[in-house]
Structure 1
Amino acid sequence: MRILIVGGGVLGTMHAWTAVQRGHDVVQLEREPEARGASVRNFGLIWVGGRADGPELETALRARELWESIADEVPGLGFRANGSLTVLRTEAEWAVAEQTADGGRNLTLLDAAAVRERNPALRGEFLGALHCGLDAAVEPRTAQPALRERLAAKGRYRWLPGREVRSLTAQGVVDDRGESHDADLVLFCTGAWLGGLVGELTENLPVRRVRLQMAQTEPLGEPLPTSVADGDSLRYYPAYRGPALDAMNATQPQPEVAARHAMQLLMVQRRDGGLTVGDTHAYDEPFGFDVEEEPYDHLRTVAAALLGRPLPRIVRRWAGVYAQADGGSVVHRARLADNAWLVTGPGGRGMTCSPAIAERTADEAGL
């Protein structure tokens, strides 16, 4: 079949990858010269440990398998099975971690000495950490180009950036240059861009948009062998919900800045040695057009407490927006026409789950 993908982010690119792997010819259109949305403005985390039981965890586990197999073919992804440590600094946080059943997530409670053995860069004061051996990371700024380069080498793929799709026809799509692109199936993977043609083709889309702030530092000067999260991450991920978390929320409120910006600390080392740190969450539109400094002050304080040293100088700051499906769905997947589907709204799971989401789309669409 001839498959046309609208959207150059990780979700669209994984749909292209899956279609080519199944023997189809693929053209991928992107309205920007290069993907510039949430797919490159993230931690590059393949995050299994915090996922909710049921479809979300099943999707993350399958995606984790797929990421590793794809990385064998595409070294440029920068895939590494580094695991993660959610560092616990209070008895209330320890109780939440202790209550969390493994449930196939490969979670282990470590005391402080075991944490420092696994990640010597963590020299701060803490009780221990929850280790997830399934968590991994890739390089978000280079993952899509690396995948496209490998796709192009297979001879069944074309990348057409700088094209905005203006209309859907029975034969395919027409772009903003007036050029037609014929396809047997069109997959719209437009991320948080829910206006334009997507808005015309849908009504009451069950998807909201979420804005976040992040940053990157100068090189740490030593390896950070695992991804790192703080205790506030227990409030954010559904795997940790339960009586112990309710008790923690009642007795250990977030600092005012963290609560106001719906914050957690996540920290991942990039291949150049720098750290990606974040993040915040804003849910009410219209979003601000600027970034605010007080969340970064909070991140520096928390990161320094875990590292036992000041955070390296921040050299980049940015904000991003992702689409989140309502009702706890892993993704919003819907048929728009006989020859077209919309796939959007994976939320903060996009980088983690995109290979498995694409696999499921291919199955449902009969590819």
Structure 2
Amino acid sequence: MKKVDIAIVGAGIIGLAHAFHAAQAGMSVAVFERSAEAKGASVRNFGMLALNAQAPGEQLISAQKTLTWWQEIAPQAGIELRQSGCMFVARAAEEMALLNEFSHSPAMEKQSAIMVEREDLSRYSPSLRSENIIGAMWSSETWKIDQRQACRKLAVWLKQKYGVEFYFLTDVQNISPPYLITSAGQFNATHTIICSGNDFAALFPDDFQKTGIKNCQLQMMRTYPQPMDWQLGPFIMGGLSMTHYKAFSNCSSLQDLVTMQKERFRSYIKHGIHVIVGQEPDGRVTIGDSHAYGTDLNLPRSEEVDNLILHELSEMMSLPVPRIEERWLGQYAYLPEGYYLKLSPRDGVTAVTQTSGQGMTHGLSISKDVILEITG
């Protein structure tokens, strides 16, 4: 029977982050993944590390710590990480008022935020529709990671540098500490960490159910490659993102924007839509997203939702190649409060999941704290 210090269930970014910190601490690590590679939220989202979208305090500190780890790991693992920046565009007076307040708030004292006039928009992103936009706020505090390659390359690097063992296409069927029963045989682990994302019904479902955790389902799209000489520049977001992210929650002008959106964006609010646009290294542009919440989600794609997202996109910008190449659904674990969930369903077992769809932004910080707690 194989014995390891740390067994990790799940090879998404949360699982790999735990593997990194455990291996760095000198522990032997085995990672079990039921698929041939990570296929969940880690690869189905934007690959956005959005420090400027975090609530001040604990969440912002967590994101800053995670960025520091990524800056160390990415060049060693061959993972593309670039400081893309982020631009919130305003098409209504309520949006502009919120951006002005936020840019002068204490939360932005240590972040680089610049208010951008309409005539200067093209300096930051070439395809913004200045006839529809009254102003914007640009921040440098957003990074883009290639989410389609990050988990795969990180796993290879962890194996080569630290000797982390990976068992792909392996299902963990039962955990009875210190033993794990898997489709690859039985293992003995001093401590097991479950990082299975939104698949929290397979192992210790009763413990998860008591927390009130839900699934969040997203609709996402990606275009064909844009011309080689065209660059989107920063991530682009609009007013619906301002009411989605916690960073703006302390602004007094937020309520005016919420009231306006309830009157003018009812269909968007119904489907939990806020539009994010980001460009991949191969030139494709990723567009999203909607948010549907429930305990057992398996909703079909909605053409109405796609059309709403694309309409909002067209109001903000005009892509050289708008044709959609890929459409897909994503899911992540969700709780309305906080940004991650940590459970100890048994002695010697810890379950960790990120609950706001920002595993890339928080994973390396959350996992560091978990490993420190385990090692004492």
TM-score class normalised by the smaller sequence: over 0.9
Call closer, same or farther: CA 1:149–1:108 in 2, change over 3 Å: same
| SS of residue in 2 equivalent to 1:39 | helix
2: CA distance, partners of 1:311 / 1:287: 32
Equivalent in the alignment of 1:24 = 27
Equivalent in the alignment of 1:164 = 171
**8 Å Cα contact 1:3/1:24 also seen in 2:** yes
Q: CA deviation at 1:202?
A: 4.9
Residue 82 of structure 2 corresponds to residue 80 of structure 1:
yes
2: CA distance, partners of 1:52 / 1:87: 19
Call closer, same or farther: CA 1:268–1:166 in 2, change over 3 Å: same
| SS of residue in 2 equivalent to 1:110 | strand
Q: CA deviation at 1:13?
A: 1.0
1:168 alignment partner AA: I
| SS of residue in 2 equivalent to 1:184 | strand
Equivalent in the alignment of 1:312 = 322
Q: CA deviation at 1:104?
A: 3.4
Instruction: Give a deviation string over 1:153-177, Cα, whole Å, max 9, x none.
Output: 1252111112221222333311135
Instruction: Give a deviation string over 1:280-335, Cα, whole Å, max 9, x none.
Output: 01013443431001222122222223224576111111111101235x22211122
**8 Å Cα contact 1:218/1:314 also seen in 2:** yes
1: CA distance, partners of 2:295 / 2:192: 30
2: CA distance, partners of 1:113 / 1:65: 35
| SS of residue in 2 equivalent to 1:257 | helix
Length-normalised TM-score, structure 2: 0.91
Equivalent in the alignment of 2:266 = 256
Call closer, same or farther: CA 1:189–1:108 in 2, change over 3 Å: same
2: CA distance, partners of 1:319 / 1:283: 13
Q: How many residues align?
A: 364
Equivalent in the alignment of 1:279 = 289
Length-normalised TM-score, structure 1: 0.93
Equivalent in the alignment of 1:98 = 100
Aligned ranges 1:177-188 → 2 under 5 Å:
177=184, 179-188=185-194
2:258 alignment partner AA: N
Q: CA deviation at 1:193?
A: 0.4
Equivalent in the alignment of 1:136 = 143
Residue 222 of structure 2 corresponds to residue 216 of structure 1:
yes
Equivalent in the alignment of 1:154 = 161
Aligned ranges 1:259-270 → 2 under 5 Å:
259-270=269-280
Call closer, same or farther: CA 1:361–1:105 in 2, change over 3 Å: farther
Equivalent in the alignment of 1:360 = 369
**Percent identity, aligned pairs only?**
26
Equivalent in the alignment of 1:297 = 307
Call closer, same or farther: CA 1:201–1:281 in 2, change over 3 Å: closer
Q: 2:180 aligns with which of 161, 173, 184?
A: 173
Instruction: Give a deviation string over 1:91-149, Cα, whole Å, max 9, x none.
Output: 11011111112153433322223332122232443122121211011111111001011
- Of 119-128 and 149-158, more deviation after overlay is shown by 119-128
Where does the alignment leave 5 or more consecutive residues of structure 1 unmatched? none
Equivalent in the alignment of 2:48 = 45
Moved over 4 A (4+): 200-203
Residue 71 of structure 2 corresponds to residue 68 of structure 1:
yes
**8 Å Cα contact 2:6/2:191 also seen in 1:** yes
Q: 2:58 aligns with which of 48, 55, 77?
A: 55
Call closer, same or farther: CA 1:142–1:287 in 2, change over 3 Å: same
**8 Å Cα contact 2:127/2:319 also seen in 1:** no
2: CA distance, partners of 1:155 / 1:99: 47
Call closer, same or farther: CA 1:298–1:124 in 2, change over 3 Å: farther
Call closer, same or farther: CA 1:103–1:335 in 2, change over 3 Å: farther
1:362 alignment partner AA: I
Residue 123 of structure 2 corresponds to residue 108 of structure 1:
no
**8 Å Cα contact 1:46/1:135 also seen in 2:** yes
Call closer, same or farther: CA 1:246–1:162 in 2, change over 3 Å: same
**8 Å Cα contact 2:29/2:165 also seen in 1:** yes
